[in-house]
A and B are shown apart, each in its own frame.
Chain A
Amino acid sequence: MTLLAFVLLLAAATIGYVLNLRAAKAIRADGARLHSLTTFHGGFAALLVIVPAFFFIVLWLLLQGSVVDWLVMSGLPDRVLEGLGAGERQLVLAEIRSIAGGRVFGEPEPWKLEAAERMTGLRATAGWLMIAGLVGIMAAALVYARRTVSAEFRARQGVEGIVHWIMIACATAAIFVTLGIVVSLVFETWRFFRMVPVHEFLFGTNWEPQIPIREDQVAAVGAFGMLPVFLGTLVISVVAMFIATPIGLFSAIYLNEFATPRVRSVVKPVLEVLAGVPTVVYGFFAILVVAPALRAAGAELGIAIAPNTALAAGGVMGIMLVPFISSFADDALSAVPQSLRDGSLALGATPAETVTKVLFPAAIPGIVGGVLLAVSRAIGETMIVVMAAGLIAKMTINPLDSVTTVTVQIVTLLIGDTAFDNPKTLAAFALGMMLFLVTLGINIFALRIVRKYREIYD
């Protein structure tokens, strides 16, 4: 049905284009001088058809699913949904959907089969309604567009006006994405805070999100104190920065001041490769190579190292961040004016002294900005820690121990569970909110430092 809609859309746009083009050519053939080129008359008709029809289709498709679901659920016999929670209702709906999709498991109750039939019927009706609406809109647009064709009509301005607004819409898409992030996070977080008090979340030192899903289940009541989770994130980030900062900085200094252009042209792209490796690959590397190696080393030295120690996840994350820091530091060092370098060397300083005493202090703001951006990356990094860090939140700063992070908790809380009615899943959104705020804060701060510093020498 959707495919048919888009085919119709394309056909109508072509028809509109050709009709208006011909009409405009006919006017010109009669000897009148057109204000706009004939193709603009055609394009105007095509755009006039495409824009409203496209939005109609998208809007319809976005809303159709929810409306059909709502109609089906409200059309169920009264007694069957009595006493069911939101999660169970979701399950019923999912079952009806799968029956409607032709996948019947076991022997469903007759009312479910009926509902599934209704759903199929409603979907078909909705599809035809959409086509009907679409044809109506496009016909109106075609008629209107055809009537605009005249020698005086400023078709070029018309086309450019529409294109202009399309481009503005594209540019605001980015704002809508941010808005979507903020609204969805705030909304779900607010629902979470209605179940769990804010102060308990912010200052609690106990994180045990396992809550009973069924009444008779034996489980902890659930504790949602985010401090141990953030502490774990901090431990892993610190480990990562301990690895990434010196390696990144020293390699940047070497590349910038000592390496020949040939060496530089080889080393830099290879370092960039480290940044291009997907994080899931680093995660696998951590559990396949790094963690066993660390454990073996620990056993040699007689130190007990947890199998999913923060060192493994943090260390691998550090490797991932090396190119990030080195390229920022490289940029910062290159941006220091040549005159400072020449001046220092002319006074008899060695290249090393020039770097440490002149260039490095001058480049400090840029370097700090880069390191801060790397920190925000480390905090928000997900796959490495999901695969290599632990699941249990502990109030510890021992990097040999197993710790968990914000991103690990978000992923584990949400995998395979999307009923948005219990504190367990909503807690993930609250954590996401904190993560978003912290990384955003660091990013804005870091970008401000970098920009301020650039202005000094520009």
Chain B
Amino acid sequence: MTDMQAERGDTSATLRINWSDPAIGARLARRKRRQFWLKGLGLAAISVAFAMLFILVGSLLSTGYQAFRQTHVAMEVRLDPAHIRADNPARGNFRAIVGEAVANLFPEIEDRADLRSATGIVSNGAQFIIRDRVVENPDLIGQTIRVEVPVSDNYDQLAKGLLDRDTPEEHRRLKDDEIARFDQLAEAGLISKPLNTALLTNADSRFPELAGLKGALLGSFYALMTCFLLAFPVGIGAAIYLEEFAPKNRISDLIEININNLAAVPSVVFGLLALAVFLGWFGLPRSAPFVGGMTLALMTLPTIIIATRAALKAVPPSIREAALGVGASRQQVVFGHVLPLAMPGILTGTIIGLAQALGETAPLLLIGMNAFITSAPETPFSSATALPTQIFIWADSPERGFVSRTSAAILVLLGFLIAMNALAIFLRSKFERKW
């Protein structure tokens, strides 16, 4: 006893510290400074990431919002029977009709070259818009109707203030007289900037003012449906087998390792697979959303399997034991009790997987879903683009008007992604059960 006390006394003696020693204060300050720095670096790192996200979204919004409005010009169009035959209105000379309508807008212009340049204000698609109106209602032939048609890209940029009037004339895409003519129309109150519904109802076009996302949206929809119909049942089947029935042996291990690795294979490799197997060996059509959906299904499969297994694992064993106890077979237990309880988790995982698939671009490029297609697909087997590949095509296009269209298309894509993820979060919070 006394020994121990003596010992303790000894140790306390050796650890006696002189707290007034300035070295201690300096050391403490240094340690606190380090703490401050580490914290500061962490905050800085987070701020950098936040700033980048902010710049990303900000730049998309600031360039994209312009594309949600389209400059239109109102014209009195006389549907001259000399140009359109009543028995075949679709084959009329609508180019001449538009030319005459523009000439009416500028009665003072005599020179043919000036007139041609004035016609450039109106989009190339104006003749088709008028044609569609006439085909729809052939009684209009011979009458004069008032139509609002899109102006061509350069004038659209001018109206939106994206074309700097102060740049010297030789560097500007519109000459002084062209701008003057446009201003004349604007003063006459013929220029309007309505909401650009064509962005969603038109298919792709070479002219930015006419280009829309309808084809891409339908293509993405078909591809995602195919992806869901293939990956969802197969993924759930695989997950149930692996989680509930598979014996613990080398084959099950192999399948598991395989699935984990498949989840990390670069997406472009799936594109190579689709190109060689689906298009090359099976001869499936190029650019078809169905083939795109099959490719995406291969990529989504691991995500769905992993999510489903996690959801199945979360169902407590007591449920299984209770069902087994009252005489259910193992499959009856799974399909009658475990699977319905795991469904919210499975659906959440599936929606997140589909959202990833919606943004996937590279494999779709390789199977040709970046083709230039001016009509919306009618079936999943006709050629189409998808939303991300459409973004890629537009980002590559040199016309100025496509910059804001690309941003707008991205905003539409992000909108879908946000909606899908919100749905997933809603499902999880609404139906998830804590056991």
Contact = CB atoms under 8 A, between A and B. Distances in A.
A352 B268 contact: no
B265 A319 contact: no
A137 B43 CA distance: 68
Interface stretch (B6-14, B79-87, B241-249): B241-249
A407 B413 contact: no
Nearest to A446: B264
B237 interface: yes
Interface string A297-332: 000000000000000000000010011000000000
A247 B49 CA distance: 8
A281 interface: yes
A414 interface: yes
B298 A280 contact: no
Contact of B258 (A174, A277, A288): A174
Interface in B220-274: 233-238, 240-242, 245-246, 254-255, 258-262, 264-273
Nearest to A428: B272
Contact of A284 (B35, B267, B359, B395): B395
Contacts of A287: 395
Interface in B16-72: 31-32, 34-35, 37-39, 41-46, 48-50, 52-53, 55-56, 59-60, 63
Contacts of B261: 178, 440, 443-444
Given A253-B42, A350-B31, A350-B34, A171 B238 contact: yes
A282 B57 CA distance: 11
B38 A414 contact: no
Given A174-B238, A254-B39, A284 B391 contact: yes
Most chain B CB inside 10 Å of its own CB: which residue of A177, A185, A188, A267:
A177
A349 B185 CA distance: 76
B269 A380 contact: yes
Interface string A168-186: 1111111101101100110
Interface string A278-300: 11111111011100000000000
A221 interface: no
A175 B258 CA distance: 6
Contact of B49 (A166, A171, A289, A319): A319
A432 B269 contact: yes
Contact of A246 (B37, B45, B56, B275): B45
B392 A383 contact: yes
A381 interface: yes
B349 interface: no
B284 A65 contact: yes
Best-surrounded residue of B44, B49, B259, B261 (most CB of chain A within 10 A)? B49
Given A287-B395, A352-B39, A439 B260 contact: no
Given A251-B45, A283-B395, A355 B238 contact: no
Contact of A415 (B59, B235, B370): B370
B275 A418 contact: yes
Contacts of A271: 46, 49
Contacts of B241: 164, 167-168, 170-171
Contacts of A156: 329
A163 B331 contact: yes
A355 B260 CA distance: 31
A66 B285 CA distance: 11
Given A254-B43, A276-B417, A288-B403, A173 B269 contact: no
Given A285-B59, A350-B32, A380-B269, A277 B414 contact: yes
A187 B276 contact: yes
A435 B269 contact: yes
Interface stretch (B131-139, B144-152, B360-368): B360-368
A91 B264 CA distance: 36
Interface string A255-290: 100100000000100110110111111111101110
Contacts of B273: 177, 180-181, 184-185
A110 to B, nearest CB: 25
A188 B32 CA distance: 61
Interface string A155-166: 010001001101
Interface string B277-295: 1011111101000000000
Given A171-B255, A178-B262, A407 B42 contact: no
Contacts of A283: 392, 395
Given A167-B245, A271-B49, A280-B359, A387 B237 contact: no
Contact of B272 (A178, A254, A432): A432
A411 B362 CA distance: 8
B385 interface: no
Interface in A402-446: 407, 410-411, 414-416, 418, 420, 428-429, 432, 435-436, 439-440, 443-444
A351 interface: yes
B302 interface: yes
B268 A160 contact: no
B213 interface: no
B31 A410 contact: no
Contacts of B272: 181, 184-185, 410, 414, 428-429, 432
B98 to A, nearest CB: 28
B125 to A, nearest CB: 23
Interface in B61-113: 63
B392 A387 contact: yes
A166 B255 contact: no
B255 to A, nearest CB: 6
Contact of A350 (B35, B246, B268, B392): B35
Contact of B265 (A352, A411, A439): A439
13 contacts: A166-B237, A171-B237, A172-B255, A174-B259, A174-B302, A175-B258, A253-B42, A287-B395, A352-B35, A380-B268, A414-B275, A418-B275, A435-B266
Given A168-B241, A410-B366, 18 more contacts: A160-B329, A170-B233, A250-B44, A250-B46, A254-B39, A271-B49, A274-B52, A274-B53, A278-B360, A281-B391, A281-B414, A282-B56, A287-B395, A350-B31, A350-B35, A411-B362, A439-B265, A443-B261
Q: Can you list the 5 inter-chain pairs with the closest CB atoms, starting with the nearest?
A: A254-B42, A380-B266, A278-B359, A170-B237, A250-B45
Interface of A: 62-63, 65-66, 69, 156, 160, 163-164, 166-175, 177-178, 180-181, 184-185, 187-188, 246-251, 253-255, 258, 267, 270-271, 273-274, 276-285, 287-289, 319, 322-323, 350-353, 355-356, 373, 376-377, 379-383, 386-387, 407, 410-411, 414-416, 418, 420, 428-429, 432, 435-436, 439-440, 443-444, 447
